[in-house]
Structures are given as structure tokens and as C-alpha cells.
Amino acid sequence: MSYEVLFCPLYSSSSGNVSLLSYRGKTLLIDAGVSCKKLKEALDQIGFSSKIDAILLSHDHSDHTRCAGVFSRQLKVPIITNHKTWKTIEYSMGNIDKGNVTLIETGDSLEIGDIQIETFPIPHDGVDPMGFCFYAGKKKISISTDLGFVSPKVASKINHSDVLLLEANHDVRMLMTGIYPASLKQRIRGNYGHLSNEQAADMLLSLNLEKTHQIYLGHLSPENNFPDLALKTVKSILKQKGVFDSLNPSLVVAEKDKASFCTVL
């Protein structure tokens, strides 16, 4: 396969998250929140057999970290995350060679090959959760899931992205009339919880999308959302504001149980 930048959400939902970014011979996994078997299945599905160079972990919740330890050990892939996250998850990672862990502070920038990576804080109830912007040549790919509210600071980071993976976690009515206990509903709706479909649309409205080619709505709750509903809600809000018609970026829902289609730039 010949490409410049390859980006693919391999799994995306409240049950497990992994994305893949590849550029000029370097490949990163962002989060590793599924079993190793599922991760390998998704890599097979997209026909990806090259070496993985690093696993970046956004925060300490298991839907982002589940197989990081095993995968790191099996394939000798270094884990990159911040100090507080590592301190919280280290016990669950098994025996990881110290040389295979790179610890940063949220807000740090780093480079892997020709990929520049920026990290930024996100409002969520992990110990030190972070989002990522990746710069590959002239292209910018941003990942921002697990967000409690439409934060202008986050918006300023993910603005002007070519590709964006943004959370659209729940439909508020489904959440509020659903089976979750009141405390969990409150947590999800709170400022350190997750973005609703409407909030995802509000976030998109706060961004300059002129160069945006592809938007993936991700991290949907299997209990409190449907892919069609997320897409319909976000599209209709953007249409109401006239954004969708003028810019027309491709808007899709990232798949929960298999690799989404890959964006090649």
C-alpha cells in the first residue's frame, strides 16, 4: 500500500479504543483498550503488517489501556504516556521493561520519526487525561475523545485539523431514560464525563473546518447511543447552522467492533 498518511480508528466506543496512525515508515497506536486478539484482528482486517513503533496512552481508563502491557511485551513496543497515568496503571501492565516506557508531562511535544506529536489536557475524570494532535508533513490529525464539555482550550488545539476523531458519546434522552444508576448518569453528563451528540456538534461548530477532510464521531456508548442517531443529530445541527452545506467534510461514525475505513492523505 502506498500512502503518505494513514489514519484508522481500529475500535472506538466506551468498550474499547485503539487508533492507528502511520507516516513515512513510523506507525503509532493511540490507546490500546481492547484485547490483543481483537487488536491483531483489526490490524489483519486493514492488512497492516508493519512494525508498530509506539503505543500512546491518553489516560488510565481500561477502555484505553486494556492490552497495552501484553502488546508491549509481545511485540517489544514502547508505551508512551504521562507520569500520573503510568503510576496509576503500572500495576495492571504486568512486567514491562523500564526501557520500554517513555514518560512525559501532559502538554509536552515529542517526535517519532517525521511525526510531530502535541499533547494537551482534556476535561475528563482520569488522573491526567490528554488528547493528541499529530502533524505529518502538512497534515494535522487530532484525537479528542473522553471530554466532559465543549472546552475552548481543547477546541483551540484541535482547530484546523485535516482529520479529527471526536467523541459523540451519548444521546441525552437515551442516557437519562436508560438503565444506568443516577450517579453514573451524573458522571457521564458532568464536566469530567463524556460529550453528548449535541455537544459534539457544538464542538464542531466552534472549529474552523475549512481544511477538514474527514471527521470520525467516536467513543459512542453502546447503551446510550446509536450510530445512526449520532450521525443524524450532529449532521442536522451542522446543517441548521449552514456549516455542513458550505464545507461538506466527510462525517462518519467510527466502528465499535471492527476497523473503520482508513483515511489516506
Site residues (vs Zn ion, CB under 5 A): 61, 63, 146
Nearer to Zn ion, 180 or 247 (CB): 180
Nearest to Zn ion by Cβ — which residue? 61
Centroid of chain to Cα 19: 7
Nearer to Zn ion, 146 or 162 (CB): 146
Q: Min. distance of Cβ 244 from Zn ion in angstroms?
A: 27
Nearer to Zn ion, 93 or 143 (CB): 143
Q: Report DSSP letters for 237-255, one per residue.
A: HHHHTTHHHHH--EEEEPP
Torsional class of 94: left (φ above 0), alpha (ψ -120 to 50), beta (otherwise) = left
**135: CB partners within 8 A, 6+ apart:** 115, 116, 117, 118
Q: Min. distance of Cβ 155 from Zn ion in angstroms?
A: 19
What's the Cα-to-Cα distance from 261 to each of 214, 226, 239, 254, rounded to whole Å?
A: 11, 18, 24, 8
Nearer to Zn ion, 22 or 65 (CB): 65
Q: Min. distance of Cβ 193 from Zn ion in angstroms?
A: 9
Q: Where are the alpha helices (DSSP H) in the chain?
A: 36-45, 62-65, 68-75, 83-89, 152-158, 172-177, 182-189, 197-205, 227-240, 243-247
Q: Min. distance of Cβ 256 from Zn ion in angstroms?
A: 12
Centroid of chain to Cα 161: 14
Residue 90, C-alpha cell as written in the block:
503500572
Nearer to Zn ion, 17 or 72 (CB): 17
The Cα 151–Cα 174 span in angstroms is 23
Q: Min. distance of Cβ 62 from Zn ion in angstroms?
A: 9
Nearer to Zn ion, 140 or 194 (CB): 194
Q: Min. distance of Cβ 47 from Zn ion in angstroms?
A: 27
